[in-house]
């Protein structure tokens, strides 16, 4: 492998991750929704990954990373907008490791409160994920803790791909899956699993279109991030692993505006009483707005990937 090549997970890596994390993560449900729900003129299958431990898909990748490493006495460290930190805390408590997290100053109060209440050592650093990530790397170097990346490590991406493996088993006739994209760990892992057998559509918020920007430029670029989904999707730069996978196995990128994300989030609540966080509603927003229009016989699945949000913000 040359210095410029980036290792990416294979379907075998995802299957191995599923075996490794079995018993540590939940097999989350898939529900069928008839045509007309949410104002979408197509039946949908919803993968409810917001019911995973810690409220998002993130424990899958974190468990796979930690279970393949020798964890030092200093424990585990991560930078996160909130969900990856909550996942690391869950994993640390389950496996008996100390946890230190670095989050940007803009991280939602509901996530910070949960982290502190459950015993994480929390540092709020910088305006965005990128600045928190630099601080986490410095902290790991100083303490010797194992650094877990929120979305750009091989083991993490392979672990996130187990969402796709489960979906494959639960909905074997699926044609297309819509997945939220920030740093790309989830959509990259799922695309690695499906390996072009299923159409994978990445959905980004207009305030943080990392993959769309990279595709436009022909390379990974750093962008300014903001908007309603910045805590979950505001990586600022698509991960190197996800970018490699995207070039061969992610079929389409749809960018949706913040107001459409909030509307889709409200629709999830109105129709199903699902309290999704904004980033997790982005894939549904792509369907509601017509950013992605399924064919007449197309079998479409939507991943609802996180639920760490304040229900009081829903009407």
Question: Are 106 and 254 within one domain?
Answer: no
Boundary of a domain, candidates 105, 126, 154: 154
How does DSSP classify residue 145?
Answer: P
Boundary of a domain, candidates 91, 121, 154: 154
Six-digit token string for 52: 């995973």
Q: How far apart are CA 123 and CA 101, in angstroms?
A: 6
Structural domain includes residue 1: no
pTM above 0.75, yes or no: yes
Boundary of a domain, candidates 98, 129, 154: 154
**For the chain, what is the mean pLDDT?**
94
Lowest average pLDDT, out of 45-49, 130-134, 255-259, goes to: 130-134
Q: Which pLDDT score, from 0 to 100, does residue 2 have? A: 40
Helices (H), the chain: 11-21, 58-67, 83-95, 109-117, 129-143, 154-160, 162-170, 185-194, 210-217, 230-233, 240-249, 258-272, 278-288
Contact 202, 246 (CB under 8 A): yes
Q: How far apart are CA 139 and CA 145, in angstroms?
A: 8
Contact 76, 100 (CB under 8 A): yes
**Domain residue limits at 32:** 11-56+160-313
The whole-angstrom distance between residue 168's C-alpha and the CA centroid of its chain comes to: 18
Furthest C-alpha separation in the chain? 56
CATH at 176: 3.40.50.1100
Tens-digit pLDDT profile for residues 106-133: 777 878 888 888 878 889 988 888 888 8
The pLDDT of 7-17, averaged and rounded, is 98
Tens-digit pLDDT profile for residues 216-248: 999 999 999 888 988 778 788 999 999 999 999
Q: How far apart are CA 15 and CA 18, in angstroms?
A: 5
Question: Are 179 and 221 within one domain?
Answer: yes
Q: Which pLDDT score, from 0 to 100, does residue 116 have? A: 86
Q: How many CB atoms lie within 10 A of CB 209?
A: 25
């Amino acid at each position: 492998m040359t210095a410029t090549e980036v290792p990416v997970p294979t379907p075998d890596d995802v299957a191995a991750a599923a075996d490794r994390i079995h018993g540590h993560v939940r097999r989350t449900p898939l529900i069928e929704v008839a045509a007309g729900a949410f104002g979408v003129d197509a039946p949908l299958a919803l993968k409810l990954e917001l019911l995973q431990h810690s409220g998002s898909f993130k424990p899958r990748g974190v468990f796979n990373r930690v279970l393949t490493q020798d964890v030092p006495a200093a424990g585990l460290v991560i930078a996160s907008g909130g969900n990856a930190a909550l996942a690391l805390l869950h994993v640390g408590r389950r496996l008996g490791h100390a946890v230190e997290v670095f989050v940007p100053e803009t991280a939602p109060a509901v996530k910070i409160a949960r982290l502190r209440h459950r015993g994480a050592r929390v540092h709020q650093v910088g305006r965005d994920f990128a600045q928190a990530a630099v601080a986490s790397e410095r902290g790991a170097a100083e303490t010797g803790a194992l650094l877990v990346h929120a979305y750009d490590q091989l083991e993490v991406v392979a672990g996130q791909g187990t969402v796709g493996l489960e979906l494959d088993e639960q909905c074997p006739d699926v044609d297309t899956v819509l997945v939220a994209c920030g740093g790309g760990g989830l959509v990259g892992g799922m695309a690695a699993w499906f390996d072009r057998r299923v159409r994978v559509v990445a959905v980004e918020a207009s305030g943080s279109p990392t993959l769309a920007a990279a595709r436009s430029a022909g390379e990974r670029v750093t962008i300014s991030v903001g908007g309603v989904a910045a805590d979950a999707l505001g990586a600022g730069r698509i991960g190197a692993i996800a970018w490699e996978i995207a070039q061969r196995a992610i079929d389409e990128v749809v960018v949706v505006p913040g107001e459409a994300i909030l509307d889709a989030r409200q629709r999830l609540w109105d129709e199903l009483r699902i309290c999704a966080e904004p980033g997790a509603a982005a894939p549904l927003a792509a369907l509601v707005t017509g950013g992605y229009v399924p064919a007449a016989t197309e079998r479409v699945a939507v991943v609802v990937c996180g639920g760490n949000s304040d229900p009081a913000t829903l009407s």
